[in-house]
Amino acid sequence: MMDYWDTDVYRYYSDPSYARPRKIVDNLKLDWLDVSGRYYSPEVVFFTKADIQELSGWSEDEVRLLFFDRRFPSCNFGRKEVVEIHALISFFAKKERVLRRQELYWEQFDHERIAQLQKLNCDY
């Protein structure tokens, strides 16, 4: 089974129909929610698409793409797609960790490559 977290759409070619929605979801931030207060709360709170759109100020298309993303921990409750608040917070935390890990990996690689190219230029 494919791990959707490890797909780097920023450095490798990806089909635009896959990469565009992924980049939109990766740019979403959870700055509209009191994360620290809600994460440690024992309450089980579910958000629907409409709830997230209303609270966050994101467009309907952004919220739709978020729920469509295979990494996102949504589920069907009746006929509505919902996400539990702790799973929502964990999703955004993991998304930031994965993006940062990919960024650090490529920074290291780029620095090594630049050093190699500089060494080659000095040899001439």
pLDDT of residue 118: 61
Residues of the chain with pLDDT under 70: 1-2, 109-124
- Tell me phi and psi for residue 34, to 5 degrees: -75, 85
pLDDT of residue 116: 67
Which segments of the chain are extended strands (E)? 46-48, 75-77, 80-84
pLDDT of residue 115: 66
pLDDT of residue 91: 95
pLDDT of residue 49: 96
pLDDT of residue 110: 66
Whether 4 contacts 18, CB under 8 Å: no
